[in-house]
């Protein structure tokens, strides 16, 4: 059991990890990619780097600093978190347990910009099989996705119905799907009767369905957190002055909570969250 | 505490109400609903006399859930003069819910 699992290896996540580790907390960092600090980004307004530093190098230095302190940093993709008496974090490779979780995944970058999507959200389009699946027992369901995240949702969906079609929206399938049709066309529209969604229009055909579940790309902090009831405003997780969400033990820091999207602010968030986490773990 | 609504008292308490009514559609197994529950209860105390705040369990009242085409929970509907005037899906803050009620 870890004291804290930190999801995200950017400035917020790694800063928090370092502060926690130096207080002898048992921490694990799980990060998939560099998020918005990719190679093409030059950071030239952060303290201590004359001439600037690329996003990739900054991340690499942060990870190196963390591992030199003895912090485990795993390159895995988190696909779900859950909370019963403690937190479980499920990745594409394993499941980890922790007393607390810090979400520092940055801003989500996957949305579906197609006609009908905004209109039918919550009216036939759902983002959470375990939350809304109940309303679609025995119905014809579409699952939009192409990777481990999709497969995780597909497993939950099999309890509801066997009439499932997977739509990859033009993405190549990266996981095996057995027993269900897979449509690899690009989706052009979510069709409906004005009140609820009724189908999926792709480049090459129309498919009538009763419900549409989205598990596209990589889930971000907001995806994990809303499934267990965290409060979200717009695209930001809502936190208190201690960077704790409305769920005890679930913290968030950095771009995930909004404000200025800057390295200095993310690092400061991470530090503040770590101090609050230490207090909570002492209880 | 928010009042529990069934199909027997729905018309009387919600549709015929003179004050605006916020209805929380929920279920015991729904994790986000468990987080919204205390927020809704607290709102019900705060707006007492100005508006009503009630709950409908979708497992126990499938007819009502069906009638309002609830497909995602928690869903919050605000009724004014017997008609749906506002709605929201997912966990919301007390301030946001109060804005939906308009009191």
Confidence of residue A230 (pLDDT cuts 50, 70, 90): very high
Chain-chain contact of A131 with B31 (C-beta, under 8 angstroms): yes
Retrieve residue A17's tokens: 């990890």
Say yes or no to pLDDT of A228 above 70: yes
Distance, C-alpha A12 to centroid of its chain: 15
Q: What percent of chain B has pLDDT over 70?
A: 100
**B94 CB near a chain A CB, below 8 Å?**
no
Chain-chain contact of B93 with A238 (C-beta, under 8 angstroms): yes
**B40 CB near a chain A CB, below 8 Å?**
no
- What residue ranges in chain A does DSSP mark as E strands? 2-7, 27-30, 42-43, 53-54, 72-74, 78-83, 87-91, 95-103, 125-126, 141-144, 164-167, 182-183, 187-192, 197-202, 206-208, 211-214, 232-233, 236-237, 250-252
Furthest CA-CA distance within chain B = 33
Residues A103, A35 contacting (CB under 8 angstroms): no
Write the Ramachandran bin of A15: left for phi over 0, alpha for psi from -120 to 50, otherwise beta. alpha
Cα separation of A274 and A282, whole Å? Answer: 12
- Rounded to the nearest integer, the mean pLDDT of chain A is 92
Return the DSSP state at A247. Answer: S
Mean pLDDT to the nearest integer, A205-230: 90
Say yes or no to pLDDT of B1 above 90: no
Distances in Å between the alpha carbon of A236 and those of A9, A115, A245, A248?
18, 24, 11, 18
Strand partners, A167: A144, A183
Chain-chain contact of A246 with B35 (C-beta, under 8 angstroms): yes
Predicted model pTM: 0.85
Inter-chain contacts counted by CB atoms under 8 A, chains A and B: 62
Chain-chain contact of B31 with A228 (C-beta, under 8 angstroms): yes
Chain-chain contact of B29 with A134 (C-beta, under 8 angstroms): yes
Chain A closest-CA separation from residue B21 CA (Å) = 21
Catalytic annotation, pick one of B33, B43, B53, B70? B33
B33 labelled catalytic: yes
> Can you give the pLDDT at residue A31?
93
**B86 CB near a chain A CB, below 8 Å?**
no
Say yes or no to pLDDT of A203 above 90: yes
Cα separation of A216 and A160, whole Å? Answer: 20
> Can you give the pLDDT at residue A26?
97
**A43 CB near a chain B CB, below 8 Å?**
no
Mutation site for B-interface testing, chosen from A82, A84, A127, A131 by largest number of B Cβ within 10 Å: A131
Say yes or no to pLDDT of A221 above 80: yes
**A133 CB near a chain B CB, below 8 Å?**
no
Cα separation of A60 and B68, whole Å? Answer: 52
pLDDT, tens digit, 9 for 90 and up, residues A125-159: 998 888 888 899 999 999 999 999 999 999 999 98
Cα separation of A37 and A13, whole Å? Answer: 13
CB neighbour list of residue A248: distance below 8 Å, 6 or more residues apart: none
């Amino acid at each position: 059991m870890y004291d804290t699992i930190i999801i995200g290896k950017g400035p917020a996540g790694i800063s928090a990890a370092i502060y926690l580790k130096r207080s002898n907390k048992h921490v694990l960092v799980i990060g998939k990619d560099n998020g918005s600090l990719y190679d093409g980004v030059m950071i030239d307004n952060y303290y201590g780097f004359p001439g600037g530093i690329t996003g990739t190098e900054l991340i690499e230095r942060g990870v190196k600093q963390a591992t030199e302190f003895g912090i485990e940093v795993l390159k895995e993709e988190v696909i779900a978190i859950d909370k019963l008496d403690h937190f479980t974090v499920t990745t594409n490779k394993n499941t980890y347990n922790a007393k607390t979780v810090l979400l520092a995944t940055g801003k989500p970058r996957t949305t579906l910009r197609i006609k009908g999507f905004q209109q039918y959200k919550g009216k036939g389009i759902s983002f959470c099989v375990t939350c809304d699946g109940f309303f679609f027992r025995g119905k014809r369901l579409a699952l939009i996705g192409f990777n481990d995240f999709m497969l995780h949702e597909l497993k939950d969906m099999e309890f509801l119905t066997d009439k499932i079609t997977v739509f990859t929206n033009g993405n190549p399938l990266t996981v095996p799907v057995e027993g269900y049709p897979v449509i690899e066309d690009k989706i052009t529209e979510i069709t409906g009767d004005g009140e609820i969604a009724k189908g999926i229009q792709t480049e090459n055909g129309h498919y009538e369905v009763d419900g549409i579940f989205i598990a596209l790309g990589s889930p971000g902090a907001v995806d994990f957190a809303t499934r267990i009831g965290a409060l979200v405003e717009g695209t930001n997780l809502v936190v208190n002055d201690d960077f704790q969400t409305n769920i005890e033990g679930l913290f968030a820091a950095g771009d995930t909570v909004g404000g200025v999207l800057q390295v200095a602010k993310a690092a400061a968030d991470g530090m503040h969250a770590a101090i609050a986490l230490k207090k909570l773990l002492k209880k | 505490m928010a009042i529990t609504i069934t199909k027997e008292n729905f018309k009387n308490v919600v549709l015929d109400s003179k004050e605006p009514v916020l209805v929380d559609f929920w279920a015991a197994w729904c994790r986000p609903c468990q987080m919204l529950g205390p927020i809704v209860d607290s709102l019900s105390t705060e707006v007492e006399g100005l508006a009503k705040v009630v709950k409908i369990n979708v497992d126990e009242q499938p007819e009502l859930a069906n009638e309002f085409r609830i497909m995602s929970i928690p869903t919050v509907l605000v009724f004014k003069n017997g008609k749906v005037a506002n709605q929201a899906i997912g966990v919301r803050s007390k301030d946001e819910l109060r804005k939906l009620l308009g009191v």
